[in-house]
Structure 1
Amino acid sequence: MRNPVLLVEVTALALVVLHVARTPSWAEGSLGLAVLCLLGVAHTEIAVGVERMRRRVTEAPHVDLSSVWTFAGALLLPTGYAVLTAIVVHGHLWWRAWRPRVPAYRQLFSTATVVLACIAASTVVGAIGSGDLRGTLMDGPMGLVAVGVALLVYTTVNGGLIAGAIAVSTPQATTAQVLGHWDENMLEIATLCLGGLAAVALATNPWLIVLALPALLVLHRAVLVRHLEEAASTDGKTGLLNAAAWHSAAERELRRARRAGGSAAVLILDLDHFKAVNDHHGHLAGDEVLTELASVLRGEVRDNDLVGRFGGEEFVILLPGLDGRDGEHSELRAVAERIRRRVADLTVMIDTADGPLTVRDLSVSIGGATYPHDGADLRQVLSVADAALYAAKRAGRNVVRMSLHLPRHRPSAHADEPPAASNGVP
């Protein structure tokens, strides 16, 4: 099957049918199924406002905390009941909090990954405990081993399938986009640990499960605050750091470099003739160009480099660890030249009411400076890089300047020409 997403969904459906059909007794475990479904529904209803806000703040995939109930079901219930718990909890969550921002086809795939993770975790616990799930959870160290292995399997299956889908749908995705940020992964593990405790509570004294709800709601609020902080530090058009957030993060990096006796470098980039794009083709076309440029910048630097938008058509990059003590800035110049060439080759396709519009012949002027060679603090380094940027502009644009040193090459013959555009594919 050529579509891997469809393969995941079909596999999940086949295994659901298989395990539901093989459930030995629908009377045994039905109470646990009902309790976990009710708790999952109640959790969503109480936190629906927070979850809707999270979806409005960020469109990126994030931990939804419902795995507390789905993982508890995988540990405690027969596999057929566990998959039904996942379907009910995830379906209700989508219906109440996520639609229409999350299309049905995306929700179907997300539910399929959770179902497969539940089947894998339930199979592991059943194998370790010889099929006696409750007894395994209460069996001292062996219960801890079973829960730990099941947690690892659940995370690997669910996260691996989602990472694969992102990698297939986004060919130039970064490592952080594919594997998720470290704090998101730790939140998922913490949520699964809470699900393990919920399963133990249900196995010993079901009334204790209500103690999990306050912790979940507080966790929801804490995660929302983090998403709001990220939104406040992000430029809405490009997804890069905004000026204030970039300055704050860059200051931290330079303090770290100062303590370690290290180095760093700064590039300031200005998109040439950007006003011509807005004047000739409209601000929506200009926004598309800025978005594509941001994608180029992210793709040409390392994951730990700081890329920000200073405003308008000006961008800035901090590259920790680049050494400019020799005054030649050779490594920084190589990065800047690579970016300049990528932008010069960039073609932006834009859908308009008059048909497809192609914007090309874009260029950037770039100025660079390094710490500590060109300045003792961020302000000084930025000032030197900014002066180098204006030297590049005066030299004809589409060129790189390092500090105040003279260039080793001339700009291209077409550097002064504004970006060309045409209707249709060039």
Structure 2
Amino acid sequence: MACGAICAEATRRLGQPIGVWRDLLSAWWLPVALLLPPLYALVAPALLGLFIYVRVRHGSVYRRAFSTAALGLAGACASVLFHALTPVTPPGQVALWLSYPGPNAWLLRPHPAVVAVGCAVAFAVINACLVAIAAWLVESDARLADMLWDRERMLLDLTETCLGILVTVASALSAVLLLVTLPPVLLLQRSLLHSQLKVQARTDAKTGVLNAGAWQGEADRAIGRALRRGEPLAILLADVDHFKNVNDTHGHLTGDAMLRSLAAEMRQQVRESDFVGRFGGEEFAILLVGTTAEEACRVADRIRCGVGVVRVFSHEKMVGVTISVGVSILGDHGRDLNELLDAADLALYRAKSQGRDRICLFDPADMTSRTPENEPAHHS
């Protein structure tokens, strides 16, 4: 618990990411579960959780309480499982962690090290499932499978599990070795927080997609690569139709929920190699790499249809919106980001003027429709 408190205190000055954030404190909870009776594993997260709440991050009490309860239940289950499958080890007989006497002893009962690894995996799986199910109940429009099987989350869980096992072995050998394990765990913890803070700086807090600055940076690099390789590329500008009516009629909280749902739908309709960003207000920009004009229009129409079925619950009503999309193509409509955004913006204006809820590919005739009132201002 002292090592966990030192890690939490040492990273406090770095700041904490907004929303759900990850740490490596399971490296200290897992040894408690494997080396002490189950009651300690149930109580340990509450002690350290209280310290984090007071010293590091206040946040919501119910969130901290649930996280603590999930860790406690996962730790207690792992502890019960471990003690049920391994014999009681008298003090000093740490050799049982390494081998059993007799060449066929492993046939009679599982090796303690193997059981420890299995229990550590069970700890991570139980905790992840509890947290994912709770998050899904709060945000029921998201897919439960995405919350359970995220690649980055699984890599972090694997890292925590490996660290926990190493710290457990060190603790079993000698409590003094905890001082040796503290610096590497602390360094990894700081690196993890630093990476999360970098991601947060690139992300729009309201929708979870790239913010305008991060999207423009990614788009500039993607356009440069496409020009060097002679590959196609497309940009979509999407604007929510009559979004002000949603805020005025149903409130800004409903409007924010709608933007989050629309951003999630857009991310689902494109590839991982594409970039979705929010340009402020109700406007979104999407960069499609390796995409021709025909393919871009097809993707834009798929996004438009997907958005059309998105619904947000508000005051016993289901609220829906439509979007208009402007499309521009690298080479045909410009050779840099500003030219492509300008072309997509003019195509978006035409889609709006023709009745909304439609997509339009840039046409040079759109240039004649430019007036001081409709001058593009999305990328000044």
* TM-score, normalization by structure 1: 0.68
> 1:245, CA displacement in angstroms?
0.9
2:238 and 2:57 map into 1 onto residues whose CA distance is: 38
Q: Find the residue that maps to 2:279 and give its secondary structure.
A: strand
Amino acid of the residue matched to residue 56 of structure 2?
A: A
**Alignment match, 2:86:** 129
Corresponding position: 1:337 with 2:304: yes
Checking the alignment, whether the CA contact within 8 Å between 2:78 and 2:122 is kept in structure 1 is: yes
Checking the alignment, whether the CA contact within 8 Å between 2:136 and 2:144 is kept in structure 1 is: no
1:162 and 1:58 map into 2 onto residues whose CA distance is: 17
**Alignment match, 2:19:** 59
Checking the alignment, whether the CA contact within 8 Å between 1:68 and 1:194 is kept in structure 2 is: yes
> 1:308, CA displacement in angstroms?
1.0
Checking the alignment, whether the CA contact within 8 Å between 1:69 and 1:195 is kept in structure 2 is: yes
1:209-261 residue CA offsets vs partner (Å, 9 max, x unmatched): 11222223322322232232122212244433111211233455667878999
Question: Is the alpha carbon distance of 1:202 and 1:82 closer, same or farther for their aligned partners in structure 2, counting shifts above 3 Å?
Answer: same
**Alignment match, 2:191:** 222
**Alignment match, 1:190:** 159
**Alignment match, 2:179:** 210
Q: Find the residue that maps to 1:311 and give its secondary structure.
A: coil
1:274-318 residue CA offsets vs partner (Å, 9 max, x unmatched): 57788xx59x95675355234223224427353211234421123
**Alignment match, 2:345:** 386
1:25-70 residue CA offsets vs partner (Å, 9 max, x unmatched): xxxxxxxxxxxx33334443444444xx21xx3122x223221111
2:188 and 2:320 map into 1 onto residues whose CA distance is: 49
Amino acid of the residue matched to residue 392 of structure 1?
A: A
Checking the alignment, whether the CA contact within 8 Å between 1:269 and 1:389 is kept in structure 2 is: yes
Checking the alignment, whether the CA contact within 8 Å between 1:124 and 1:149 is kept in structure 2 is: no
Computed over aligned residues only, the root mean square deviation of the Cα atoms, in angstroms, reads 3.9
Q: Find the residue that maps to 1:390 and give its secondary structure.
A: helix
Checking the alignment, whether the CA contact within 8 Å between 1:237 and 1:287 is kept in structure 2 is: no
2:222 and 2:148 map into 1 onto residues whose CA distance is: 24
2:222 and 2:145 map into 1 onto residues whose CA distance is: 19
**Alignment match, 1:232:** 201
Question: Is the alpha carbon distance of 1:348 and 1:131 closer, same or farther for their aligned partners in structure 2, counting shifts above 3 Å?
Answer: same
1:192-223 residue CA offsets vs partner (Å, 9 max, x unmatched): 32222222122112211112222233223222
Amino acid of the residue matched to residue 261 of structure 2?
A: S
Amino acid of the residue matched to residue 284 of structure 2?
A: F
Q: Find the residue that maps to 2:164 and give its secondary structure.
A: helix
**Alignment match, 1:151:** 120
Q: How does 1:179-328 map to 2 (within 5 A)?
A: 179=148, 182-251=151-220, 265-272=234-241, 281=248, 285=251, 289=255, 291-302=257-268, 304=272, 305-320=274-289, 323-324=291-292, 327=294
1:347 and 1:221 map into 2 onto residues whose CA distance is: 38
Q: How does 1:70-85 map to 2 (within 5 A)?
A: 70-85=29-44
Question: Is the alpha carbon distance of 1:153 and 1:220 closer, same or farther for their aligned partners in structure 2, counting shifts above 3 Å?
Answer: same
Taking every aligned residue pair, what percent have the same amino acid on both sides? 31
Q: Count how many residue pairs are aligned between Structure 1 and Structure 2.
A: 350
Checking the alignment, whether the CA contact within 8 Å between 2:132 and 2:144 is kept in structure 1 is: no
1:403 and 1:364 map into 2 onto residues whose CA distance is: 17
1:64-90 residue CA offsets vs partner (Å, 9 max, x unmatched): 322111101122222233323333233
**Alignment match, 1:400:** 359
**Alignment match, 2:8:** 44
Amino acid of the residue matched to residue 4 of structure 2?
A: G
1:380-405 residue CA offsets vs partner (Å, 9 max, x unmatched): 65444333212213324343213439
Question: Is the alpha carbon distance of 1:379 and 1:38 closer, same or farther for their aligned partners in structure 2, counting shifts above 3 Å?
Answer: same
More deviation, 178-187/114-123: 178-187
Amino acid of the residue matched to residue 106 of structure 1?
A: R
Checking the alignment, whether the CA contact within 8 Å between 1:292 and 1:348 is kept in structure 2 is: no
Question: Is the alpha carbon distance of 1:340 and 1:86 closer, same or farther for their aligned partners in structure 2, counting shifts above 3 Å?
Answer: closer
Q: Find the residue that maps to 2:363 and give its secondary structure.
A: coil
Q: Which has the higher contact order (CA 8 A, sep 6+)?
A: 2
Checking the alignment, whether the CA contact within 8 Å between 2:297 and 2:327 is kept in structure 1 is: no
1:167 and 1:156 map into 2 onto residues whose CA distance is: 16
More deviation, 378-387/193-202: 378-387
> 1:187, CA displacement in angstroms?
2.9
2:4 and 2:133 map into 1 onto residues whose CA distance is: 27
Unaligned runs of 5+ in 1: 1-36, 350-355, 407-426
Unaligned runs of 5+ in 2: 101-105, 366-380
